[in-house]
A and B are shown apart, each in its own frame.
Chain A
Amino acid sequence: GQQLNQSPQSMFIQEGEDVSMNCTSSSIFNTWLWYKQEPGEGPVLLIALYKAGELTSNGRLTAQFGITRKDSFLNISASIPSDVGIYFCAGTFNNDMRFGAGTRLTVKP
């Protein structure tokens, strides 16, 4: 099946540091999505990527759709305490969406 491998599982960083996380798969996807989930809430869409090679930014967040269509990364620059949460990648293929296991981000002030 189309499994997504997301890494790292968790990150503990200092406020102001940059963060990088990625998702890989053995299968290709048509789109890549990055979601953030805060405690007690459902996932909220951060960035959507529509085609291979695409690089998209949303404020301090930047994500790229890998050329092979089998991977994607998310970078967060100059982290702040409210960046804390679990970040999920998701890939879609023929309207089927699969999620990675998430990266739990902790930011120390």
Chain B
Amino acid sequence: DSGVTQTPKHLITATGQRVTLRCSPRSGDLSVYWYQQSLDQGLQFLIQYYNGEERAKGNILERFSAQQFPDLHSELNLSSLELGDSALYFCASSARFRDSPFGYTFGSGTRLTVV
């Protein structure tokens, strides 16, 4: 157990729908990062939050949004889902904002299947 909790582990939904993925960071970590891993692809950085504020944005679609709550858990919202959104979505956490990536701890991911 890495200490980073992601729910649900699996999600199957239809095109056009909206889903919410949840991440609880490791105790004491203030930064949360979201990554997308499509089939046979590396991890694509989506977005980072630090202590409730958005700090960095990667290749995140406009249909996707995220937030980090006062208790530091984060949610990734995916709307108007398309077949191509099917992927593994990982959350990682680290202690500080300008943390070296050595401090990232990954969760086990949420596998999203859009049918």
Interface residues, chain A, with chain B CB atoms under 8 Å away: 4, 6, 9, 31, 33, 40-45, 48, 88, 90, 92, 95-102
A99 vs chain B, min Cβ distance (A): 4
- Can you list, as one digit per residue, whether each of B82-108 has a CB less than 8 Å from chain A (1) or not (0)? 000000001010000011111010111
Do A99 and B100 contact each other (CB < 8 Å), given the known contacts A40-B108, A42-B92, A42-B109? no
Give CA–CA (A100, B56) in the complex, Å. 20
Are A102 and B101 closer than 8 Å at their CB atoms?
no
Contact A97 B45 (CB under 8 A): yes
Partner pick for B42 among A6, A31, A33, CB 8 A cutoff: A6
Dominant secondary structure at the B interface: loop
Is B71 part of the contact surface with A, judged by Cβ < 8 Å? no
A-side interface mostly: strand
B102 touches A48 (CB 8 A): yes
Known: A42-B4, A42-B109. A101 touches B40 (CB 8 A): yes
Tell me if B40 and A90 are in contact (CB < 8 A): no
For the complex formed, measure the closest distance between the CB of A54 and the CB atoms of chain B, giving whole angstroms.
14
Cβ contact within 8 Å between B98 and A42? no
When the two chains form their complex, are residues A42 and B102 in contact, meaning their CB atoms are under 8 A apart?
Answer: no
Q: A45's contact among B44, B99, B102, by CB below 8 Å, is which?
A: B102
When distances are taken between beta carbons in the complex, the residues of chain B under 8 Å from A100 are 42
Query: Which of B43, B90, B98, B99 has its CB near the most chain A CB atoms (within 10 A)?
Result: B43
Looking at the assembled complex, report how far the CB atom of A94 sits from the nearest CB atom of chain B, in whole angstroms. Answer: 10
Q: Which residues of B contact A99 (CB under 8 A)?
A: 35, 42-44
Q: Which of B40, B99, B106 contacts A43 (CB 8 A)?
A: B106
CA A92 to CA B106, docked complex, whole Å:
17
